[in-house]
Structure 1
């Protein structure tokens, strides 16, 4: 019983995290990355007939989601992060979240693609993400945009739409969360 109480207490937002200031420093210095859940896109999962290359068949960002994405770009610029390495899932709502930030080119990273419909592959895909991210040279800050289920597998956290997690590098499972940043 005490173990469950301690686990619940440790999982409270903000407990055990570095100060936001230290987390932002780590991000700016390339010792951490920012992992975002895509901004607000009404619904759950993907509609019947979903096709990866056709945004008209997918859930897409709402106007609120587009505004959240632009505010993420503003927040990152205020934090001195103007040209991060941007990677996103190939799903339109994730890619559009990254693009709407207005911080530069967005590279697709299939290891960030949603595992919602293929949960049996979730651990394998998470291992691919770890290998790819940890294999990148340290340098410019890194921002990744993915999906709730993927982030939950990696961190054990169920982020809200547009929420960001600053994660220590190198990534492991579970990832070391330095800060949780609500959607701006």
Structure 2
């Protein structure tokens, strides 16, 4: 079902370890059918009504995908000119197809930088502890713009800074992205 505006809060955990990966400090808003969150998560949330709470498990293959060791690449260090590189830092850029690409710096050599193109949650089964605050038909303006009312940036992105990517108006820890959608560079 498309064109529903969902407002929800969530806690995202690694299903196996139960460690918290991400949490919405304030409710997030998105419009269904636009790829703003993981398709399996959207499917589950669509079935919920205002005030409903549910724990939703999404297997790695339906979440961020399986971990792909071949996604670790060596890139000439000169391509990072002007960046104070540190192991573990996330970098965002534009890929060949124009999509936002996120990499994690794995190692820094004299001439090469090893970067990991895998999503931070690749290979993880995920558990979302969801509370739906509102599930309603998107209004005409929301359908036209693809943004819920009251959200400043496209795809539900709220404030963000140079080191973090955010969607739904919340900040992320330095190693995480938004509930797995693909709007605003969230994958």
TM-score, normalization by structure 1: 0.26
- Name the structure with the higher helix share: 1
TM-score, normalization by structure 2: 0.26
- Name the structure with the higher strand share: 2
